[in-house]
Amino acid sequence: MKINTILLLLLLGSSPIAANAQSLYDNNRQCVTAIAPDVPESMYFAGAEISFDRIDMFERLDREMISFMYGHTNTLLSIKRANRYFPTIVPILEKNGIPKDFAYLAVVESFLENRAISPAKAGGIWQLMPATARQYGLEVNDEIDERFHLEKATEAACKYFKVAYNKYKCWTTVAASYNAGMGRISSELSKQNADNGFDLFLNSETSRYMFRLLAIKLIMEHPKDYGFYIAEEQLYFPVDYTVERVSSAVPSWAEWAESKGITYAQLREMNPWIRSRDLTNKNKKTYNVKIPNKKHLFRSTQPHKIYNRNWIQVKNCLLYTSPSPRDCS
């Protein structure tokens, strides 16, 4: 038991969690296998300070922080993927006047899996329903589904956020409405005589949703403080590309990809909004198709672009990371 505890402390390094583990070990001489995260007294989201002095606020955030801390797989993957996708998502949010904290909403929605489809048929990083996507200008059919087009789907999400903010004048309530729908949130605000989403009694999914958003922001801003150590080379880096304009039918995307020097799989990975093996394009629309830079398709030649230096820890043991262990500094 003593050996297991010492190993855990070495892995945790100098993080606040390690301090808690050391204290528990010194006092009890017992093996510590799980550490509760420290819930802050308050935090800022979208420019507004949120206090956790109220017991329900504290406990709801505590639950989601524990969930993300010990849901290692999705939390780690979200940090890795954010290095690839946040450089695209955040500028679009800022261009539209949406707080950049809303990038974490995409994490909560899909763990930044751009091919994600929910049981309810919500799709893409922003998990848009087909009808909502069409409402905000996206093409959704058997051949093209722009819910899986990162830039266009982010623009569509921004349109929703703007409409919701004009209604509620509160960004956290906007976030709640993204999960439950504006109709439901407006109805509950009226029925419960409340003026923001935190004061509503809602179903479990939406109640948890807002606090999952806050929890993942806390963890992703300072992952090391919560036991997540990722080396620079373990991040997923952006893939540079050129754009080919397609304005006619494509009888075979596989042959089209081959003519551009890439595989069909690489074409679909770069353009997940392509949903079939061909394109009839009856309306003669123009589509911008991304062709990946070949140098960026290999780890050995791909440039390392790091969006947030807080996401990497070079000289330390890795607690929640890839299976291969690394040496301590």
Alpha helices in the chain (DSSP H): 2-12, 16-28, 55-70, 72-95, 103-110, 130-135, 150-168, 171-180, 182-191, 204-221, 253-259, 264-270
Over range 26-53, report the average pLDDT: 83
Predicted confidence at residue 175, as pLDDT, reads 96
6 has pLDDT over 50: no
Over range 279-294, report the average pLDDT: 96
Query: Domain boundaries in the chain?
Result: 42-221, 241-297
Query: Which tens digits make up the pLDDT trace of 54-85?
Result: 999 999 999 999 999 998 899 999 999 999 99
Among the four given CATH numbers 1.10.530.10, 3.40.228.10, 3.40.50.2300, 1.10.3720.10, the one describing domain 42-221: 1.10.530.10
Please write down the HEC assignment for all residues of 38-94.
CCCCEEEECCEEEECCCHHHHHHHHHHHHHHHHCHHHHHHHHHHHHHHHHHHHHHHH
17 has pLDDT over 90: no
Over range 177-194, report the average pLDDT: 96
Contacts of residue 239, Cβ cutoff 8 Å, sequence gap at least 6: 84, 270, 292, 293, 296, 297, 302
32 has pLDDT over 70: no
Q: Which tokens hold the place of 241?
A: 């590309």
Q: Whole-angstrom Cα distance, residue 50 to residue 52?
A: 7
Predicted confidence at residue 71, as pLDDT, reads 87
198 has pLDDT over 80: yes
Predicted confidence at residue 33, as pLDDT, reads 67
The whole model's pTM is what? 0.86
